[in-house]
Amino acid sequence: MGRSKRIAATDLMPDFTGFSLDRGRYRILEILGCGSYGKVYLAEDNFAHPSNQKVFAIKCLSKPRHGSHADVLQQREFAYHKLVSGHPNVVTFYRHFSDGLFVYVVLDFCTGGDLYIAITEKRLFHHNERLIKNAFIQLVDAVEHCHNLGVYHRDIKPENVLVSEDGTHVCLADFGLSVMGSISQEFGCGSSCYMSPGAYYSFYFREFWLIK
């Protein structure tokens, strides 16, 4: 027998394309992508005046049990992201709402997707030192803004940076691992493939001895 495929949480989520959410306010236009914990959709505000129509990205997440550890972490993410939203290089967190099964987060829509795709598939930054420098400066500004407010992202990587279609504007996103406090006792936080060699081996040696 072949190895069974692991089912991700997003595999169990319905496709909301064509539906309206939040009592008809947001109409889902299309799916933008899937991650480990949620799906992201393009949506328009049905209640907005035609002259002020705008599209949003709506992230659909599983709704944790009220009062659980997962619920506390999710509410912390929302609070920290909302706190740092007032910066041009941080994805704006507008609001969130929920139903019986899911939580929906209304965010800015960035037309170019994430920085990883922009680098590896679109090759927007290939041999373009000016564009690279511009993106790096914007990220440094975003991180400084977060740190000035006491928020530390802890998972900065290309997949968590969104870009405009031409790559001239970048925004920091996904505050799921963020904390307030400049010192942390947690090990192995973030994505292992982006850890420095020292942090990577320290984490896995620690895990090895705990198992032993």
Would you give the DSSP letter of residue 101? S
Are 66 and 72 within 8 A, CB to CB? no
The secondary structure element, H or E, covering residue 7 is none
108 is catalytic: no
Q: In sequence order, which ranges of the chain are alpha helices (DSSP H)? A: 69-83, 115-120, 129-148, 197-211
Q: State both tokens at 56.
A: 């949003």
Q: State both tokens at 33.
A: 């992508």
From 45, 71, 141, 155, active-site residue: 155
Alpha carbon 99 to chain centroid, angstroms: 21
For 35-157, strand residue ranges (E) read: 38-45, 55-62, 93-98, 102-107, 151-152
Give whole-number Cα distances, 145 to 102, 153, 156, in Å.
31, 11, 14
Q: How many residues are recorded in the chain?
A: 212
Q: Which residues are catalytic?
A: 155
